[in-house]
Structure formats: structure tokens, C-alpha cells
Amino acid sequence: MNGLAEAAEAAEEHDWRRLDRRSLLVTVQMTGGVVTAVGLPVTLSFQGWVAMGPVIAWAVGLSLLLIASGVGIEALRLRHSRYRIGPERAELRSGILFAKHRTLSRERIRSVDLVAHPLLRVLGLVEVRIGTGEQSAGQEATLELRAVRRAEGERLRRELLRRAAPGAASDAEGTIAALDLRWIRYAPLSFVTSALAAAAGGAIMQVSEWFGVQEEVIERVGDAFRGMSVAGMVLALIAGALAAGAVGALGLWVEMWWGYRLEREPGGTLRVRRGLFTTRSVSLEEARLRGVDVVEPLGLRLSGAARVDAVATGLSRRDEEDQAGPSTLLPAAPRALAREVAARALREPVTPTSARLTAHPRAARARRIRWALSAALAPALVLVLLGALLGVPVLTYLGAGTAALLAPVAVALAYDAYRSLGHALHGDYLVVRSGTLRRSTVALRRGGVIGWTVKQSVLQRRAGLVTLSATTAAGAQAYAAYDVSEAEGLAFAEQAVPGLLAPFLERVEQPR
């Protein structure tokens, strides 16, 4: 009996697999890069204060110690990490000081994503993230294998996602969308350009401060614009920063979307592959798909482009706010293609997001005009008050100019925000749209709605408006129809999901 028990234990232990030990090389390179990036400016800061020989010797010795410590910790992690994929569950053993044994039921696994940054790609390795599709559980709902061979990662992805998808037509499998390099023209039109422009200016000032040449940089900028008015200098600096931001946005787009391909695989799985240096493969079960979100930031909308995001359960929120989050099915592309991709992802002949929407009451327009004017005139009012209190006429004139400049823009944006409002029912979907700087048109399956939230402020009550939000377990978890008339909004909710809201409504009998 002891021999049989030992044989069974040995067979069970044989099923456990180790992570690839070549990740030690990745740790050496990454730790060395971080130590160099931090240690070099610190070491140079001692120049001119003390003899550099001992400083360099201490810096090199400390760097080697930190690299050796990082490699040692990584070696211990690899030594104590095992994974096993059985017929019923996926398991991971890990932990150096405290042993952890985590398991996921095979039936609950909904995503297997592969990620490989440049160092992993050179070694032919990938990180495998196995998820259950539960947002509330956080990291406990994900097993991360760092790292395995790429062939092993692909094998795990195919094995764990292999399941029958009832009703999935085999003739619908294949490529839905692939990279078109002409889409790169939309990259500078995103808000990333302005963010990168600000970051570039901040980086120049910070680096110049590290090396003690910040004053010299400022003097050279002043010399370059000598003879130019203050307004002209400010405009020139903004234009230069935006040009640098545009170049950065182009580079970021290439890194994120190079090799992009959206495919439907056997068994009803949508797979997005993309990335130049860091490659990503994100798999999404169609059973988790509750709808789509066609996103049109102002710059893209003016150029006739849009992005398509999936409204699905269990997607990681880690990268959700950037322009290449795990929910993105299609990057910024021509609007007609975005509608086609949305329809094919939902297996619909026509995308529900193109449905004719019901306009909202004019009271909603008045609310947006008031909001916009309040935001635009507030800084102008502050300048005028300061000018009056301090006796500085320039501030008063500046405030008046600010009001004259911002008020028309604010009103135009308010009218656009009102025109963007709308809601409709289209087959099995409810559709809501809102936003001006970032217009979003969401088509949500009625079966995915688990509740309604009705909000009404004091001002909304006076105008007879409500904000009606459809609650779901997918995506942002709530999608709202803003400032819809009270009677029409409640009727819309009842028609979309009959019986869900009715028990909470008070019925008023009409007098005979």
C-alpha cells in the first residue's frame, strides 16, 4: 500500500510544471536598467562636491548588490512556483515565506491573455494571465504565470478556452478587422497629444534641474524669442509642445497597435492581438459580451472616426482608461468601419448603435448651456473682481477678454452636448448616447440589464427631468440616459426590460 501511495504521489507531482528559468535574465536586465536610471543622476549630482572615485566605486558596488538581490529573489520565486492544468481546475503554487496554493475551476475560466514585453520576446517567453471574468474578486480571480515559453502559452490558451459555443456559426469565424496603416492619421487627434506635450515640457525642466542647468535653459528659451511679444512667445511654445506631443502620440500608436488583428476563433471567442515591442493577446468569450460602445472623442468625431469598445463582464480595469484598454476591439478608424466591426462582433446585420435615437427635452439643453456658461465665466469673473479690488485695470480687461473668448465656445459645446443626447430600443438592445468632448454610444443587451437607477435632483424635478441608468454586470456597470423627461424615461425602462421597474413605481388612479 505504501508503494502505491508513493507512486500516486509521484505521478501527481509529475503533473506540476515549472516556470521558465530564463526569466532570470529578464530580471537581470530590468533591475540593471532601473538601477542605472536612478543611480546615474544621483552619482552625477556629487560632481564638484567630493572626489568622484570613491563615489563611483560605492555606486557600482551598491548597484551590483541590488542586482544580485533581485536575481536571488527571482530565483527563489521560480523555485517555489508550480502550475498544473487538470481536467477540472487550473492550479498555481507560489510564495517564498508564505506558501500559496490557488485554484480556478475550468468551468469558471473566461479569459487567457498573453503579454510579452521586448525582453520576454527576445527570449521567446510570455506572461499568461488566466481569469474567471469576476470583477469583484480582483487579483484572486486571476492566475498569472510569469513566464513560460510562447508555445506553452498558446497551448494553455487553446486548451483552457476550448469549449462549445451554442449557436455560434462556424462560417462567421475568421478575421473581423486588421491593421490599416492609414489609421495612424487619427493618433494626433486624441487627448494623448496634449498630455504628452505637457509631459515633455515637465520632463525638460526636471532633467535640466537634475543637471543644474535649468536657469541656462530658461535663458536660452528667452533669447530664442527675444523681440517677440509675450502672447506670441506663449503661442509658439504651445505649438512646439503640441508638435512634440503629436510625434509622441504617433510613436505610442505604433507601439500599441502594430500588428493589430481582431479575429473570431472556434468556440465563440473574440481575440485581439496587437503591439510592436510589447505584444498582447486578449481573448474575450462571446458569452461574456453584453454589447458595444462606439466612442468618438471630439477630434476623432470631427475627422469622421470612432473607436469600438466591448461591453463585457470580467475585463480587467487596469488599463481601462487609456486608448488601448483590454475592452478595445477596434482602435480609432473610419466611422463606417467602426459600425461594421460593432455589428460583426455582436453577430448582427446592422449595429444597434446606428439606431435612430429619441431626442431629449429642451430643458436638457438649457441645463447644459447654464453649466457651460458657469464654467467659462467663472475664471473671467475672478479676474474682474481681482482687478476691481486691487485697482489693476489690466486684470479687468483680461477678464472681459476671457469672457468674450470662452462664452461662444462654451455655448457651442453645450448645444453639441444636447444634440448628442438620445436613447432608443433596437431589437434586443437598448441604446443610449451622451457626451461632447467624448461622445459615447452604448448598445446594451436587454438581457444584461439587472436593474435601474433613477436619479432626480431638485433642479431636475423642477424641469420634469430624470437621469435613468441601466445597471449591468459588464463594462462600466451602469449606462445612463441623462436628462430624459420623467414619463418618457420610466416608460422607456419598462419597455426595455418589462416588469423590472414596475414594482417600484407608484400608480396614481385617474379620477373618474
8: confidence class by pLDDT, cuts 50, 70, 90: very low
Count, residues in the chain: 512
Look at 212 and 420; give whichever has higher pLDDT: 420
Mean pLDDT, residues 139-150? 83
Look at 369 and 510; give whichever has higher pLDDT: 369
DSSP designation for 468: E
Which phi and psi (to 5°) does residue 507 adopt? -90, 130
206: confidence class by pLDDT, cuts 50, 70, 90: confident
Lowest mean pLDDT among 167-171, 211-215, 236-240, 479-483: 167-171
Mean pLDDT, residues 36-42? 77
Mean pLDDT, residues 173-179? 91
Q: In this structure, are residues 465 and 361 in contact, taking their beta carbons and an 8 Å threshold?
A: yes
The whole model's pTM is what? Answer: 0.82
Mean pLDDT, residues 29-39? 85
Mean pLDDT, residues 302-306? 95
Q: C-alpha dihedral over 452, 457, 458, 459, to 10 degrees?
A: -110
What pLDDT, on a 0 to 100 scale, did the predictor assign at position 435?
Answer: 95
What pLDDT, on a 0 to 100 scale, did the predictor assign at position 40?
Answer: 76
pLDDT in tens, 329-341: 999 999 999 999 9
Alpha carbons 464 and 458: distance in angstroms, whole number: 10
pLDDT exceeds cutoff 90 at 150: yes
Mean pLDDT, residues 459-487? 94
Which phi and psi (to 5°) does residue 388 adopt? -70, -40
56: confidence class by pLDDT, cuts 50, 70, 90: confident
Looking at residue 363, its amino acid is A
pLDDT exceeds cutoff 80 at 55: no
Residue 426 CA, chain-centre distance (Å), reads 27
Q: What is the SS3 assignment for 365-422?
A: HHHHHHHHHHHHHHHHHHHHHHHHHHCCHHHHHHHHHHHHHHHHHHHHHHHHHHHHCE
What pLDDT, on a 0 to 100 scale, did the predictor assign at position 153?
Answer: 94
DSSP designation for 267: T
What pLDDT, on a 0 to 100 scale, did the predictor assign at position 137?
Answer: 44
pLDDT exceeds cutoff 70 at 17: yes
What pLDDT, on a 0 to 100 scale, did the predictor assign at position 11?
Answer: 47
What pLDDT, on a 0 to 100 scale, did the predictor assign at position 214?
Answer: 73
What pLDDT, on a 0 to 100 scale, did the predictor assign at position 163?
Answer: 61
What pLDDT, on a 0 to 100 scale, did the predictor assign at position 134?
Answer: 63
Mean pLDDT, residues 191-197? 84
Residue in this structure with the C-alpha cell 503554487, named with its chain if needed: 93
pLDDT exceeds cutoff 60 at 300: yes
Burial 465-479 (b: 16+ CB within 10 A, else e): bbbbbbebbbbbeeb
What pLDDT, on a 0 to 100 scale, did the predictor assign at position 166?
Answer: 45
- Mean pLDDT, the chain, rounded, equals 86
pLDDT exceeds cutoff 70 at 507: no
7: confidence class by pLDDT, cuts 50, 70, 90: very low
| CB proximity list for 446: less than 8 A, separation 6 or greater | 428, 429, 430, 496, 497
Q: In this structure, are residues 288 and 474 in contact, taking their beta carbons and an 8 Å threshold?
A: yes
What pLDDT, on a 0 to 100 scale, did the predictor assign at position 399?
Answer: 87
What pLDDT, on a 0 to 100 scale, did the predictor assign at position 211?
Answer: 66
Residue 461 CA, chain-centre distance (Å), reads 35
pLDDT in tens, 79-108: 999 999 998 999 999 988 888 999 999 888
Looking at residue 407, its amino acid is A
Q: What is the SS3 assignment for 268-298?
A: CEEEEEECCCCEEEEEEEHHHEEEEEEEEEH
What pLDDT, on a 0 to 100 scale, did the predictor assign at position 356?
Answer: 95
Alpha carbons 334 and 349: distance in angstroms, whole number: 19
pLDDT in tens, 350-379: 999 999 999 999 999 999 999 999 999 998
